[in-house]
Amino acid sequence: MALVVQKYGGTSVGDADRIRSVASRVVGAAADGNQVVVVVSAMGSFTDELIGLAQQVSSHPAPRELDMLLTAGERISMSLLAMAIHDLGAEVLSLTGSQAGILTDSSHGEARITRIRGDRVREHLDQGKIVIVAGFQGVDPDSRDVTTLGRGGSDATAVAMAAALDADACEIFTDVDGVYTADPRVVPDARLLKEVSYEDMLELAASGTGVLMMRSVEFARRFGVALHVRSSFHEQPGTWVKESAMEEAIITGIAHDVSESKLTVHGVPDQPGVAARLFGNLADAGINVDMIVQNVSMEGVTDISFTVPKNDNAAALAICERLVPEFRAGGVDADPNIARVSVVGAGMRSNPGIAATMFRALGDRAINIHMISTSSIRISCVITADRVEEAVRTLHEELVPLDEPVEEHA
């Protein structure tokens, strides 16, 4: 008998009809002879509504109480799902994060899972029950306070639960069909990937592919949990994320991200410690800096460019303006009208020509490259925002193979 962990996101349990549809699917998996653990998020936008209420009663909601509040969201979705499954005649019960033994540290709002005490879940599974577990939440065993795991927390719950129970698969049900070679809204003939390696998925997630959070992928890789990312709206298989067992494609896909802003500090004297001081100040302000590019020094001065989330643009600009006189730099400017386009593929390691092909393809279209950064399996270019869709289509056409390298022939 296989043990499957299924995770359903907020859209998948967004209303009563969707909940009943998920219930059928869960009961189907159990009827196929599987032990099933279901991890659910809060319904649709309910978490946002709760945050809105918190902001109405408090200017700075106390983190412990905000976690207590937000955990009501999964409590509602999980008990409704349990009722719907019960109505279909299956044995089922729902458990909060705390009841399911999801132990975390004490960082309210962004707690890390430290351990899963899986005996209560296992006991109910062994009694033939379907077990529903609240995603996104856990308990700090020292204070006995409930905690939440932050963005992507329900995926993390599912992966951790799958690891702790040594599950045969962890299915992440979502509102898209899986992972594509590029965003299908931008590239209509983008191809659904049958599988993708953990490391490619990490780079894709880091580069703007929003299907999975990096955190859950890292977790899955660390514990060797195979993820199956698939749609909750139909029965077709999606994308497996796992240790790659085959020759990898040179290019896995094209990702893009329009959520960032670019800042450039001009004419910085090329002295030790300047970059450390700049990025130290940004980090102290809680600003998450992504790409950093520093040009070669010309006549003792250099330009430092970096990207930050658009939300942090104003704060980052203020910090730079404060530092410009201290650095005796020339000035600073910010450009929010940028996009990042990335080519990702572990096969690039043994194919050094990809960067040149990418730059040539963009150049042929007169798409100007503002910044470049690379890892061993990714090349990212910052370009003007209004050319990003054209850039993604061009790179997809030039670089992504028409078929997956290994087809499943009978």
Residue list 24-83, contact with a copy of itself (CB under 8 A) = 50, 53-54, 56-62, 64-66, 68-69, 71-73, 75-76, 78-83
The nearer residue to a copy of itself, 41 or 264, going by C-beta atoms, is 41
Instruction: Output the smallest distance, CB 64 to a copy of itself, in A.
Output: 7
- E strands, 200-346, are 227-231, 239-242, 253-257, 260-269, 292-294, 301-309, 331-335, 338-344
Contact, 263 vs 334, CB < 8 A?
Answer: yes
Residue list 307-366, contact with a copy of itself (CB under 8 A) = none
Residue 94 interacts with a copy of itself (CB under 8 A)? yes
The nearer residue to a copy of itself, 64 or 365, going by C-beta atoms, is 64
Instruction: Output the smallest distance, CB 171 to a copy of itself, in A.
Output: 22
Residue 20 interacts with a copy of itself (CB under 8 A)? yes
Spell out the SS3 assignment of 142-170.
CCCEEEECCCCHHHHHHHHHHHHCCCCEE
**Position among 5, 39, 40, 84 found at the interface with a copy of itself (CB under 8 A):** 84
Residue 123 interacts with a copy of itself (CB under 8 A)? no
The nearer residue to a copy of itself, 79 or 281, going by C-beta atoms, is 79
Contact, 370 vs 264, CB < 8 A?
Answer: no
Rounded Cα–Cα distance for residues 70 and 4 (Å): 27
Instruction: Output the smallest distance, CB 93 to a copy of itself, in A.
Output: 7
43: tokens are 């319904």
Instruction: Output the smallest distance, CB 71 to a copy of itself, in A.
Output: 7
Contact, 392 vs 256, CB < 8 A?
Answer: yes
Residue 121 interacts with a copy of itself (CB under 8 A)? no
**Position among 2, 16, 298, 406 found at the interface with a copy of itself (CB under 8 A):** 16
Rounded Cα–Cα distance for residues 153 and 73 (Å): 13
Give the Cα-Cα-Cα angle 244, 248, 253 (nearest 5 degrees): 105
Among the listed residues 3, 344, 5, the one whose alpha carbon sits nearest the alpha carbon of residue 156: 5
Residue with tokens 């599987």: 34
**Position among 1, 33, 144, 407 found at the interface with a copy of itself (CB under 8 A):** 144
Residues in the chain: 410
Q: Which amino acid type is present at position 137? A: Q
**How many residues sit in the footprint of a copy of itself (CB under 8 A)?**
39
**CB environment 100-121: b (16+ within 10 A), e (fewer):** bbbbbeeebbebebeebebeeb
CA dihedral defined by 322, 327, 332, 338, rounded to 10 degrees? -110
Instruction: Output the smallest distance, CB 173 to a copy of itself, in A.
Output: 18
The nearer residue to a copy of itself, 68 or 293, going by C-beta atoms, is 68
Q: Which amino acid type is present at position 330? A: G
Residue with tokens 């043990």: 3
Instruction: Output the smallest distance, CB 88 to a copy of itself, in A.
Output: 10
Instruction: Output the smallest distance, CB 306 to a copy of itself, in A.
Output: 35
The nearer residue to a copy of itself, 106 or 244, going by C-beta atoms, is 106
Residue 402 interacts with a copy of itself (CB under 8 A)? no
**Position among 3, 45, 51, 99 found at the interface with a copy of itself (CB under 8 A):** 99
The nearer residue to a copy of itself, 72 or 314, going by C-beta atoms, is 72
Name the residues that contact a copy of itself, by CB under 8 A: 16, 19-20, 23, 50, 53-54, 56-62, 64-66, 68-69, 71-73, 75-76, 78-84, 86-87, 92-94, 99, 120, 144
